[in-house]
Amino acid sequence: MVMGNDGYNPVNLTNNSASDLNPSWCGAGTLTFTSDRDGNLEIYKMSSDGASQTRLTAALEADYSPSCSPNGTQVAFTSAREGNDEIYVMSVDGSNQQRLTEIGAADNYPAWSPDGSKIAFVSERDGNSEIYLMNADGTGQLNLTNDSGGDTDPAWSPNGSKIAFASDRNSSRQIFVMNSDGTNAYPLTNSGASEGSASWSATGSQIVFHSNRDGNDEVYRMSSDGSFQSNLSNGSADDSAPDWEW
């Protein structure tokens, strides 16, 4: 689905019986997403009006969670094609697929920095889900969060100074923000519900996310300091994994 910043005029882009999820904008006019329409999870791309839906990956195991580089030329994604979840990168046409992580533990949910030089991701290499950072070529991998709770869903602010993420370190899964070097992590939400998939507006002044605080998953919006939280989708079906177009 795509909708206005205010939640109005939602439009179904894919409209098939399969599960289509994890949308990621690839510059103006193009989206990548995950679908199981061909039997298992693979990465696809399409125009912003839903036209020209094209499969980019064709592995026997799951490929999912695409994240487009800021210049729209590359896609980072998660794949289990070599036995466990690892981070890969490919050109936006599906060519030049290369593995970036090789640690043996699950690495997933990549997110490009706004300047394209770094990728934040989630790893279980230290025993639980933590936010890690690496160079775009896979070098220089380091742990940013290092907390006993599970930390997932990293999302960069437009100026690259902050990373929003989801964490259950305070019991329920809430939206947190930290400096991009991992310092000064603090919560933005405190609803007691399960919340995740933060995505910043182009100005950095607002964040969308999903929450089940009203009984089912809905897309919410808040100011980047956590204030003025409001339900945008407000329907009977589950709405999740928003991605704000920059």
Tally Cβ neighbours within 10 Å of residue 64. Answer: 22
pLDDT of 58 reads 95
pLDDT of 16 reads 87
Report d(CA 109, CA 137) in Å as an integer. 16
How large is the average pLDDT for residues 19-28? 93
Domain ranges in the chain are: 1-143, 155-173+193-246
Q: Which fold has domain 1-143?
A: Neuraminidase (2.120.10)
Report d(CA 40, CA 58) in Å as an integer. 9
> pLDDT (tens digit, 9 = 90+) per residue, 126-141?
999 999 999 999 999 9
pLDDT at 28 over 90: no
pLDDT of 217 reads 95
pLDDT at 70 over 90: yes
Which residue bears the tokens 């869903």? 153
**Residue 182 DSSP symbol:** S
Separation of CA 164 from chain center: 11
- Give the CA distances from residue 197 to residues 51, 57, 111, 217, 244, in Å, rounded to whole numbers and listed in that order: 25, 23, 11, 11, 11
pTM of the predicted model, to two decimals?
0.95
> pLDDT (tens digit, 9 = 90+) per residue, 153-172?
999 999 999 999 999 999 89
**Contact between 66 and 44 (Cβ < 8 Å):** no
